[in-house]
Amino acid sequence: MRIVHTCLRYPPATGGVERYVQEIVERTLNSDAGHDVRVLSSTMRTHGPITELDPNLLLDDPPYLQRLHHASTPLLSYPRLQALPYYLGHHAPDLIHGYSFWYQPADVAARYAAKHNLPFIFHPMYYHNATRQKPHWQLYQKTYGRTTFALADVVVVISPQEQALIESAGLPVKRFALIPPGVDSQKYQAPRPNPFEPRGLSQEVILSVSRLATGKGLADVITALPIVLQQRPATNLAIVGEDFGAKQQLEKLVKKHGLTKQVHFLGRLSDEELIAAYQHAKLLVHPSHYEAFGLVLAEAMAAGTPVVARNIAAVPFVAPHNLGGLLFSTHSELSQHLITVLKNDKLRQTLGQQGQKHVRNNFEWQQQIKKITELYRQLGST
């Protein structure tokens, strides 16, 4: 079966969606089912505003990936992959798999599939935020976006919370399938050298892994850190992730609170260094104001690292309170949970072991790929 995936951005562009798509593509390509897998995407690093990936990074693109030219849409953050219907036809798919509500690759893929009587799987990665309350977004959801949902043979959600949001919006869905992102637990447990020591962070480290964007809540951790330092003066905060527009403001906040020696912006790490960072951090803090899933939580728990995360959206599904970590709702809870985990070695060990078990039981990639390939089999035989 030839499966064509359509997505707005693809690694080395960073982001949870991009990594999720890449894992599905590579794992189904290498599965025993023997699928012929293709990907249609862009050269964008970011899409709001549009920036380009370094061309040198694209030299290692796999042969199944085709990056199309893109164009912006006036007044809207809705980039378009040019000539997408033509390239869909060129690859002659037996099934089309599209990603991300509000973005053109999925919208075009849905209509192409309907026109040519092909199965269509839709991963909406659906969420609400302030931008999605604006009139033009609401109009899209009630018209064009609604049709994309209606055309999907299966809508794949990555958490029960995402499904609940879609249902509350009254969007038409023929069939839901719950397929969360996965991790390979063994990969996160193989010991790696400490990545913090060469960077001068020899004391206990609180790790944060996310894009440096306003909605990720990193300012809350920075403002909570002085309270933590009163009881744990040797603590450092290591922030891993690319700048998506918030770094300058975060750096100003660090200086305002006199934390330049305690807060370290490490930028993007390689996969190996990131796993090592999970392993050698005392805990992962994840203060994001919204997560459709929260892959970094599952990754940290797979490494045996407890998490402190905001009790919102899908976070309790990935990291239940007192089962792999502690969840907070208020600023005071955030600082207190950080102190509690840092001070209590036994609790940290217990949370780490519980988190590893939770990931093994619920979020192994082997489990998720079986679900996806079974969907392909079912839809391909109809």
328 CB contacts (<8 Å, ≥6 apart)? Answer: 308, 309, 310, 311, 334, 337
* Spatial separation of the C-alpha atoms in residues 245 and 259, rounded to whole Å: 20
191 and 334 co-located in one domain: yes
Of all residues in the chain, what percent carry a pLDDT higher than 90? 85
Are 40 and 105 in contact by the 8 Å Cβ rule? The answer is: yes
Angle, alpha carbons 292-192-20 (nearest 5°)? 25
Sign of the dihedral through C-alpha 59, 48, 284, 305 = negative
In this predicted structure, the answer to whether residue 126 has a pLDDT above a threshold of 80 is yes
* Spatial separation of the C-alpha atoms in residues 120 and 139, rounded to whole Å: 23
Residue 369 is predicted with a pLDDT of 93
* Spatial separation of the C-alpha atoms in residues 106 and 92, rounded to whole Å: 17
Q: Tell me: the pLDDT tens digits for 11-61?
A: 999 888 898 999 999 999 877 767 899 999 999 998 878 999 999 999 999
227 and 305 co-located in one domain: yes
Pairs from 190-196 (Cβ < 8 Å, separation ≥ 24):
191/279, 192/272, 192/275, 192/276, 192/279, 193/276, 194/276, 194/280, 195/269, 195/273, 195/276, 195/277, 195/280, 196/236, 196/238, 196/277, 196/280, 196/281
Average pLDDT over residues 90-112: 97
Taking 3-state DSSP, the helix, strand and coil percentages for the chain, each rounded to the nearest 5, stand at: 45, 20, 35
Instruction: Report the length, in residues, of the chain.
Output: 382
Are 326 and 337 in contact by the 8 Å Cβ rule? The answer is: yes
Average pLDDT over residues 98-111: 97
Q: Tell me: the pLDDT tens digits for 291-307?
A: 889 999 999 999 999 99
Average pLDDT over residues 222-244: 95
Amino acid at 122: F
Residue 321: CB atoms within 10 A of its CB come to 14
Residue 133 is predicted with a pLDDT of 77
142 and 35 co-located in one domain: yes
Of all residues in the chain, what percent carry a pLDDT higher than 70? 99
Assign 134 a pLDDT band (cuts: 50, 70, 90): confident
Q: Is 190 left (phi over 0), alpha (psi -120 to 50) or beta?
A: beta
226 and 248 co-located in one domain: yes
Domains held by the chain: number:
2
229 and 119 co-located in one domain: no
125 CB contacts (<8 Å, ≥6 apart)? Answer: 17, 99, 100, 101, 158, 162, 292
288 and 255 co-located in one domain: yes
Alpha-helical segments (H) within 217-310:
218-231, 247-256, 271-280, 295-302
Domain that holds residue 222: 185-362
* Spatial separation of the C-alpha atoms in residues 129 and 373, rounded to whole Å: 32
242 and 107 co-located in one domain: no
Asked whether the whole model's pTM tops 0.95, one would answer: no
Residue 362: CB atoms within 10 A of its CB come to 14
191 half-sphere exposure, CB direction, 13 A CA radius: 1
Report DSSP letters for 354-370, one per residue: HHHHHHHHH-BHHHHHH
Average pLDDT over residues 275-279: 97
354 and 372 co-located in one domain: no
177 and 238 co-located in one domain: no
* Spatial separation of the C-alpha atoms in residues 68 and 40, rounded to whole Å: 7
260 and 309 co-located in one domain: yes
What does the radius of gyration of the chain's CA atoms come to, in whole angstroms?
Answer: 21
DSSP-derived letter for residue 212 is B
Amino acid at 123: H
Average pLDDT over residues 76-87: 94
**Centroid of chain to Cα 253:** 26
Helix or strand or coil: residue 328? strand
168 and 226 co-located in one domain: no
Residue 22 is predicted with a pLDDT of 95
* Spatial separation of the C-alpha atoms in residues 284 and 380, rounded to whole Å: 41
Residue 14 is predicted with a pLDDT of 86
Residue 137 is predicted with a pLDDT of 87
Assign 382 a pLDDT band (cuts: 50, 70, 90): low
346 and 370 co-located in one domain: no
46 - beta bridge partners?
51
Q: How far is CA 107 from CA 103, 150, 176, in A?
A: 7, 11, 18
The CATH number assigned to the domain holding 177 equals 3.40.50.2000
Residue 244 is predicted with a pLDDT of 87
Average pLDDT over residues 272-292: 95
DSSP-derived letter for residue 373 is H
Average pLDDT over residues 348-371: 95
Average pLDDT over residues 165-181: 96
Residue 49 is predicted with a pLDDT of 84
**Centroid of chain to Cα 281:** 20
Assign 2 a pLDDT band (cuts: 50, 70, 90): very high
